[in-house]
Chains A and B, each alone.
Chain A
Amino acid sequence: MPKEINDDDIQNITENIDELEITAVSTQQSTPLVKTGSNPLRVILDGFMGKVVKAMTIFSLLLLVLIIIGLVLKSIPVLKDNPLSTLLFSSQWSPFKGEFGFLPFILSTVYVTLIAAVIAIPLSLFTAIYLSEYANKRFLKYAAPMLDILGGIPSVIYGIWGVLLIVPFVRDDFSAWLGVDSVSGYSILSGGVVLAVMVFPVVVQIVYEVLKTVPHELREATLSLGATKWETIKKVVIKRASPGIIAACILGFSRAFGETIAVLMVVGNVVQIPKGIFDEGYPIPALIANNYGEMMSIPMYDSALMFAALILLVIVLVFNVYARWVLNRIEKSIK
């Protein structure tokens, strides 16, 4: 446990330091050689700016709380009319009748994310290991900036790519390959694939960084026992890097969870619980984005959509808390 310090203590300490500085300034004052130190404006300005920057920090701390409060307040009407269990576990969705069952959307979100995880995690891990342990410098020189740039490409661009390449591929080639007929290509599979490609740069980069922090001596020690390079990686490097790797995956996928435009463009947007990977789905972010235009025209619809945003937020928060808990536990067990 870190030292128990509360804000008052800090306040006291900071004030003490300020006083110290004032005394320092006043000793200078008594020596005639130093003229500038006498200006108390500097000290006043320092104190004032200290308050300003602290206020901004508190605002940034409150931002998260404000977001939660804002969405909760807006969700209250729909929560009052419908029991929480109906909202979360019913699949009846007819806004005109006032029926809001979010299950199809929740499950679509989960499925798309899972498909993305199944594709992206192994590929990203192997690639990151390849980059950090096997690849030569020349390859790295091109690979690193490429990941950097592609990580910054807007999701709408990934969406276009999905529409042009992935959807036809799923419709014509992949379905035939699996012997499935008459699919549109707009499906949770396409959504998952596009999402996977979007998280590649994020996960590869973080895992690569994490692997680079594993000390060189550890690899040498293992190699000098006669282990092959792969054995060294599998049994020692990955183990040592595991907290960071898990964090990378969770970070990558809490981003994926809320990804909107790219997924919306390829996933089909049909309100149903997907039965297979070729079925259309309708993830929560797509629901919100597609219907914001009419949310004020149908009673309770705005509240329902804000509740949808709240669900997303809660899921992401749970992810984050869980990630931190896992990290702490693993760190403890290693150290």
Chain B
Amino acid sequence: MKKRKIEELIFNIIMRVSAFIIFGSLIAISATILIKGVPAMNLDMITKTPSGGFFLGKEGGILNAIIGSFYLSVGATIFALMICIPVVIYINVYASENSKIVHYTRLSLDILYGIPSIVFGAFGFVLMLFLGMHVSLLAGMITVGLLIIPIIARTMDEVMRQVPVELKEASYSLGATKWETASKVLLKQALPGLATASLLGLGRAIGDAASVMFTTGFTDNIPHSLQDPAATLPLAIFFQLSSPIAEVRDRAYAAALILTVIIFAISLISRILIKRFSKNTL
């Protein structure tokens, strides 16, 4: 009798300690970024591009990387959506539920989801050479777009599956075609969920460093066309952090703070959307 009680107690303590370690380390990360980032933060960081000697600790900011990341992630998300929306429509509306193509599409999206971003980066590089492109914003958008396709498509797929079958049937029984059902009824119904899926992809696109190294390059200038190389926030952080000069490392912390705030904002927006979505369906 006693032994069982003691075992329960011991494991309860282990569980509390585990939870403490996990949440503690996660809090520690946020705290580290805040403590290191806030003092290093200034207006120049977000309003100026690097001027001469920036990487030696002189003046300037990382506006180039902020803008570059913005262009890149928005472009990549749009590219990904151009593929994801048709795929999700096909597997949820056009194809029959148990068909092999649906099964294999979901399977391959799941597998793609698990492929590391550095592999996407390498593939993007191969693709870039094959198409005769140079390191550029466009090449980056395509590579990152491919990277986030599985994330967006699988999330959207889950959302579409939650749309009640009755809705589809109601639309058909009004004489609507599949395309009309998909575009005018299902997509509309699932819109907040689809937006959340896109934001999830956008967040991933902003934060990923490994896939853009090969394809987007790095520059001190703000890109003016899709053919230009572009700086991105994660790479800006990475390069500055490896500097031996303390001022430059401080800027890395400030840049990290900026990136973290952007990610927080995106996830906050998607949480709000999810809340509204669940209100709509219930």
Interface residues of A (CB under 8 A from B): 2-3, 5-7, 10, 13-14, 21, 24-25, 28, 37, 42-43, 45-46, 49-50, 52-61, 63-64, 66-67, 70-71, 73-74, 122-127, 129-131, 134-135, 143, 145-150, 152-161, 163-165, 197, 200-201, 204, 228-231, 234, 251, 254-255, 257-261, 265, 285, 288-289, 292, 305-306, 309, 312-313, 316-317, 319-320
Contacts and interface: CB of A to CB of B under 8 A. Distances in A.
A126 B126 contact: no
Nearest to A311: B119
Interface string B189-220: 00000000000100110111110011000000
A131 B266 CA distance: 25
Contacts of A257: 116
13 contacts: A5-B98, A10-B99, A64-B108, A123-B21, A143-B19, A149-B264, A154-B206, A157-B29, A164-B32, A200-B22, A258-B118, A288-B121, A312-B116
A292 B122 CA distance: 9
A45 B116 contact: no
Contact of A228 (B5, B122, B256): B5
A209 B177 CA distance: 37
Interface of B: 4-5, 7-8, 11-12, 14-19, 21-23, 25-26, 28-30, 32-33, 36, 83, 86-87, 89-91, 94-96, 98-101, 103-105, 108-112, 114-123, 125-127, 130, 146, 149, 153, 175, 177-180, 182-183, 200, 203-204, 206-210, 213-214, 234, 237-238, 241, 252-253, 256, 259-260, 263-264, 266-267, 271
Interface of B: prevailing SS: helix
A74 B126 contact: yes
A49 B100 contact: no
Contacts of A126: 11, 14-15, 17-19
B32 A154 contact: no
Contact of B28 (A42, A161, A259, A305): A161
Contact of A258 (B16, B116, B146): B116
Contacts of B100: 5-7
Contact of B96 (A10, A163, A231): A10
B180 A42 contact: yes
Contacts of A150: 26, 29-30
Contacts of B130: 70
Contacts of A164: 32, 36
Contacts of B210: 155, 260-261, 285, 289
A204 B118 CA distance: 25
A152 B207 contact: yes
B248 to A, nearest CB: 14
Contact of A21 (B83, B153, B177, B252): B177
Closest 7 pairs (CB-CB, A-B):
A258-B116, A154-B207, A46-B177, A56-B86, A309-B122, A126-B18, A260-B210
